Structures are given as structure tokens and as C-alpha cells.
Chains A and B, each alone.
Chain A
Amino acid sequence: MSVCEKVEQAARYHDGEMSPAERTLFAAHLEKCETCRLEVEWLRRLSHFLGTARSIDVPARLCDRLHANIAEWRARAVMRTAEVLAVAAALALAICAGWLWRAQSVRESPVEIPAWEMSAISLRPETAPAAPEQQIGWWIVRDLSAENGHD
């Protein structure tokens, strides 16, 4: 039997994948080409043979089990949603807690003490500091420690 270059098109013809125009052309080709005619015939027989598997029935108990499982799948889906929500809530809580902690630590950080106050608590009363802003502290300390001759 000679090989026809169009024999690979037989599958598209058999499977109904040709346009109406292609189909007409190939049908005309089949009239005169035995190779392609035998190929189409073989494909038809093969389809018939494989198609006998369509008579296989699904076991009845399998359908019952599938029905019974739907409730379980639904429960699992609800649980999964709950898990996702729980993780999201935990994440939100963690972010809020972190933000609060940060805000709190900023509030508790020591307030900067003015220079005159530092001078007031650190300078000895006998010596007058040279810097004007430190002299204010020195005067206050001297007044408070009653070394200025007043009560």
C-alpha cells in the first residue's frame, strides 16, 4: 500500500476538526485514496472499541460517599476560613501591640533638662560660672541655700 501525504489529516477528519470546506475536499480525496480510506476506517473501529468503556457504571456506594463527604468538605472550608481569620486577627493584634509599645516608650523617654537646671544641681555655690545661662542656676542655688545673707 502506498503512503499518502494526506493520511495525517485523517484524524482531523475523523474527529470532526475540519472546516466544512476542508471536510468536503477530504471526503472527495477519500473516494480515490485507499490509504486514507483505510486510515479513517481504522480510526472509526478504534473509537468504537474505546467507546465501549462508556458503558462502565459508577459504583452506587461511591455516589453516596461523595454526597456524605460534601458536609465534611464544607466543615473543612469553614475551618480553613476561621484559621485564616484567626491568623489575620493575631497579626493585627501583634501590629497594634507593637505600635502601642513604641508609642509608650517614646512617651517615657527622659525629658531634656534645661542647662540652668543642670547648673543648679551641679555647680558649687562658691564659684560663679562664666557662662550666662549657668549663672542663673548659680544664683538660684545660692538663694535657696541661704548663703546670700537673707532669710
Chain B
Amino acid sequence: MEKQHGRDHPERSHLAESDLELVRAARRGDEVAFRELVDRYAQELYRVALMLVGNAADAEDVLQETFAGAFRHLRAFEERASVRTWLTSILVRQAARHHRKMSRQPRQTLEELSQGARAILGGENTARATNLDLRLDVLHVLDTLAPEQRQVVVLRELQGLSYKEIAGVLGIPIGTVESRLFRARRELRERLGDYLP
């Protein structure tokens, strides 16, 4: 029996197909396959977009542009990287374009951190790790970084990409990824240091 696909599209099932098979099907004009790709990656790409641009409305725009760009360039995907890395690199470019358009400057000061954030950063064993304040704190903290530092931190810490994958997404050498990550973490340590117990 054919499994029901996604939300409201019982016409064909793509659930068992790999990302690459979905891309190939979408290239042949199969919209349902592309919907499945959207369902698979919307969640994690939205988080990355939110961390990169700093607010929900802009993150939604960036995500829409990301999938629109992926749809437009399905034929340009050379299958050398994973679909996840390909979508992430489109997202990062869209976020960077958005950032240039808005010409936002990193904020210079960090607001008071929530109790949950202080507990985690202070090394306490806490289960209070998913409240709203904490997520806002992460957004604020990342907002203090320069865009190129924020990119590597988000791709490493949130997406869990390796240095090699980050280098591929950003089109920079692995050594540059390492040094940017090192500087970004040092920056965060300095900024967060004042707010820790």
C-alpha cells in the first residue's frame, strides 16, 4: 500500500526516497518531490535563517527565497555535495544578501542574559534548556558577532557541519573556517564573560 505523503498530497509517496532522488524527480517536474524536500529541510533551515538574520519575519523571507532559488536552479545542482549542504549554501547566500540590503551592524552590547542561559554557560547541570528566554538569548548573543563570524558559528553549532562542509558552503579555505571560528568563540567568551556567575 502506498504511504500517504507529507501534509495534503496523497497522490504520490516520496517518503522513502533519498534527497538526491527527490532532486532528480523535481528536475523532471515532479512538484510533490520538491514539497517533500521542503518538508524535510524547512525546519532546520528556518533555524539557521533565524540565527543569521536575527528576526522571524526576515528569516521567513530568506527561507522562501532559499527554496525559490533551489527550485530555479535544480538543474545546476551538480550532486557533488549533499542536498542539505547545497540548500544551506543557498540559504547563507540569501541571508548575506539580505544582510547587505539591510546593512545591519552587529549590536555592540549584550542585554542581560536569562537565568537559563547563565546556568548553562556557568556549567550548571540544568534541564531548563528549551525555554523562550534562552532562545532569545542565543539570538542576542549571535547578533553581537560580525556576519562572517556568525555564519561559521551557526553552521558549526546549529547545523553541525564539519569544517570541510562549512568551507564548501562559504567557498573559503578550511584554515579560514578554523580561524574565523576561533575568533568568533573568543569574541563570544569575552562578551559573555561579564554575564556569567
Contact = CB atoms under 8 A, between A and B. Distances in A.
Nearest to B68: A73
B51 A53 contact: yes
A45 B157 contact: no
State the majority secondary structure of interface residues on A. Answer: helix
A124 interface: no
A107 interface: no
A51 interface: yes
B101 interface: no
Contacts of B35: 67, 70
A34 to B, nearest CB: 15
B23 interface: no
B117 A49 contact: yes
A74 interface: yes
Contacts of A8: 182
Interface in B49-66: 50-51, 56, 60, 63-64
A103 interface: no
A47 B182 CA distance: 13
Interface residues of B, number: 50
Q: How large is the interface on A (under 10, 10 to 19, 20 to 34, 35 or more residues)?
A: 35 or more
B67 A11 contact: no
A49 B139 CA distance: 11
Interface of B: 7-8, 29, 31, 34-35, 38-39, 42-43, 46-47, 50-51, 56, 60, 63-64, 67-68, 71-72, 116-117, 120-123, 129-130, 134-135, 137-139, 141-142, 153, 156-158, 162-163, 178, 181-182, 185, 188-189, 192
Interface of A: 8, 11-12, 15-17, 41-43, 45-59, 62-67, 69-71, 73-74, 77
9 contacts: A11-B178, A48-B129, A52-B116, A53-B47, A53-B50, A53-B51, A58-B46, A69-B68, A73-B72
